[in-house]
Amino acid sequence: MGETTRRIRSSGGQSRAIPVDGPTLIALCDGYIDMDLSRFPDVVRGIGDDLAIADGQDLDDMTLSVNAFLIVAGDRLCLVDAGDGTRRGAHLGNLPRALKQAGYAPEDITDLFMTHLHGDHAAGLVVGETQVYPRAMLHVAQDEIAFWQNPSALDAIQATQAPVAEAALRVYRERLVPIRPGDLILPDVRVRALPGHTPGQVGYQLGHANPILISGDVLHLPALQVKHPHWGFVFDADRANALTTRKAILAETAQSGLRLAGAHIPFPGVVGIVDRDDGPNYVVMQTDD
């Protein structure tokens, strides 16, 4: 097993502070998902194998971190995404433990900011019909709500995620807050449109001089997709649009020095992009501890 794979599989329940000039940001690891390469049908073996090996991974034994992020801004304690919950075993559902390691409990969370409502981001919001975060307002992009409220329009792959999305919207319906790209949801935290993976996917951009974009599922496998952004994921609802968004965000990241935080970027889940002679490369960004 490669070193990166080993690290991804052992990070569940951990928290890590990320330096940002604005609110406090803490990466939280819910666990990991083992990933069959058939989920990435465009990956070219050989080229992909070399990239994976150079990154401490193995295309025949791929695994993805499942991360969430905590924003602490004054008396607001905001969780961006909520992990997969405990429905799939102990390799997932470790977010409450990570939160505890950071010094907080689920009851402390005042706001939930969702990037989108796929299971690995939203299943951790509920246990049955009970809210895991009993005080929190649930902020979801208007287009994301609309997508899941029209189940007859979903394709077969997206339909597998509908029960989780519907449960989240139902169980938190009295504290559901629709948001839109451009909204300033906290001082120094703005909503950005990241359509494609789902039509209503959004990110959250924090900070000024050294900003970070919490980018949901724009990028699943940085070791492969930074160099080959067209190697898409079968759960991208609109793969052409997901590619457009992925390329735009990667280019912006390389040009501007933006940092990218991602739900599936190896924990602690923050990378930068640098252009080198061999093309764009991702670099793991520093954390505080």
Residues that bind Zn ion (CB under 5 A): 120, 217, 263
Minimum CB distance to Zn ion smaller for 13 or for 216: 216
Residue among 31, 21, 25 nearest 113 (CA): 25
**Minimum gap (Å) between residue 219 Cβ and Zn ion:** 10
Q: Which is nearer to Zn ion, 15 or 161 (CB)?
A: 161
**For the chain, what is the radius of gyration of the CA atoms?**
17
Q: Measured from the CB atom, is 65 or 281 closer to Zn ion?
A: 65
Q: Which is nearer to Zn ion, 120 or 183 (CB)?
A: 120
Minimum CB separation of residue 99 from Zn ion in Å reads: 19
Q: Is the dihedral of CA 203, 44, 235, 67 positive or negative?
A: negative
Could you tell me the smallest distance in angstroms from the CB atom of residue 197 to Zn ion?
Answer: 8
Overall size of the chain counted in residues: 289
9 burial via Cβ count (<10 Å: 0-12, 13-18, 19+): middle
User: Measured between alpha carbons, how far is 285 from 268 in angstroms, rounded to an integer?
Assistant: 9
Exposure string of 72-97, with b = 16+ CB inside 10 Å and e = fewer, is: bbeebbbbbbbbbbbeeeebbbbbbb
Classify burial at 111, counting beta carbons within 10 Å of its beta carbon; exposed 0-12, middle 13-18, buried 19 or more: buried
CA atoms within 13 A on the CB side of 1: 12
CB of 115 to Zn ion, least distance (A): 8
Query: CB of 174: closest distance to Zn ion in angstroms?
Result: 26
If the CB atoms of residues 15 and 201 are measured against Zn ion, the closer one turns out to be 201
Least separation in angstroms between residue 153's CB and Zn ion is: 21
Residue closer to Zn ion by CB (options 55, 120) is: 120
Q: How far is residue 119's CA from residue 266's CA, in Å, rounded to a whole number?
A: 18
